[in-house]
């Protein structure tokens, strides 16, 4: 248990659906992240929020839309996804400074 | 650019020692991290090196050479539960102090 909770753990959605992934941490961390983990590829940073402000988006397609309403919660809104978006989506948080990140257990997303 | 390399897969025997190498080329460097990830689970932090040398933590040790852009994770007295993927990551100041991850090394520990 890392202190970072993601829901749902598994999600199957059609290409025309709209869904949201949720991440929650009560560790008092200032930064929260969304990563995509595809088979046989490195973890890809999608979005970073520091003190609730987005600081990085890495040219992620607009069909992915993040939201950080407060320092404990992070959402990833999904709409009109493609089959190649099927992956494990991981949320992480970290305190300020050069410390490690703490990961949630991820949401396994399948787009059909 | 940013690039981190690790072997894709390794196999070792229970009770043995295994060394997992990581080489990196990043625009900046502010620490190298090793994570363990069991299948279907979250990556969990193992170790952190920011200065050259060896950091020891029980059965796990990590080494860093900044001049060579090289690190390794050493696992001693291997146990079956050590079968997992091991991720090498660099914090890069030129990348907003964010992590650049390697592809991970899948380690299988055999009886």
Pull the structure tokens for residue B34: 């090793």
Is pLDDT of A103 > 70?
A: yes
Dist. CA B87–CA B73, nearest whole Å:
10
Chain A residue with CA closest to B102: the answer is A42
d(CA B97, CA A106): 22
Residue with tokens 């090289």: B70
pLDDT tens-digit readout, A43-61? 999 999 988 888 877 789 9
Contacts of A48 in chain B (CB under 8 A): 96, 98
Average pLDDT of A70-78?
95
Is A104's CB within 8 Å of B42's CB?
yes
Collect all residues of chain A within an 8 Å Cβ-Cβ radius of residue B50. Answer: 98
Contact A103 B99 (CB under 8 A): no
Structure tokens at A24: 């929650």
Report the alpha-carbon distance of residue A83 to residue A14 in Å, rounded.
9
Phi and psi at residue B48, to the nearest 5°: -145, 130
DSSP A101: -
Compute the distance between CA of residue A18 and CA of residue A29 in angstroms, rounded to an integer. Answer: 29
| Residue A17 in contact with partner chain B when CB distance is under 8 A | no
Query: pLDDT per residue over A82-101, tens digit each?
Result: 999 999 999 999 987 668 89
- Contact (CB, 8 A) for A20 and A66: no
H/E element holding B49? strand B44-49
Consecutive 10-residue averages of pLDDT for chain B (111 residues): 91 98 94 94 93 95 97 98 97 83 96 94
CA B43, CA B105: separation in Å to the nearest integer?
A: 13
Going A14 to A20 to A25 to A30, the CA torsion angle's sign is positive
Cα–Cα dist A88/B2, whole Å: 22
- Quote the tokens at residue B85: 């993927």
Q: Facing residues of B87 across strands? A: B35
The answer to whether the CB of A95 falls within 8 A of the CB of A28 is yes
- Return the pLDDT at A97: 67
Interface membership of A60 toward B (CB under 8 Å): no
């Amino acid at each position: 248990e890392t202190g970072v909770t993601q829901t749902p753990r598994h999600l199957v959605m059609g290409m025309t659906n709209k869904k949201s992934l949720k991440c929650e941490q009560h560790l008092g961390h200032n930064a929260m992240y969304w990563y995509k983990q595809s088979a046989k590829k490195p973890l890809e940073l999608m979005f970073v929020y520091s003190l609730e402000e987005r600081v990085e988006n890495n040219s992620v397609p607009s069909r992915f839309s993040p939201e950080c309403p407060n320092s404990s919660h992070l959402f990833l809104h999904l709409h009109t996804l493609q089959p190649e978006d099927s992956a494990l989506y991981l949320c992480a948080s970290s305190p300020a400074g050069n410390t490690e990140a703490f990961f949630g257990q991820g949401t396994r997303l399948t787009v059909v | 650019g940013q690039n981190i390399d690790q072997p894709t897969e390794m196999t070792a025997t229970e009770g043995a020692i295994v060394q997992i190498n990581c080489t990196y080329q990043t625009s900046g460097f502010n620490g190298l991290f090793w994570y363990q990830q069991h299948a279907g689970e979250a990556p969990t932090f193992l170790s952190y090196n920011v200065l050259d040398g060896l950091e020891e933590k029980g059965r796990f040790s990590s080494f860093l050479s900044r001049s060579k852009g090289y690190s390794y994770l050493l696992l001693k007295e291997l146990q079956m539960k050590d079968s997992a993927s091991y991720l090498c990551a660099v914090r890069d100041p030129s990348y907003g102090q964010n992590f650049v991850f390697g592809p991970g090394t899948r380690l299988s520990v055999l009886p």
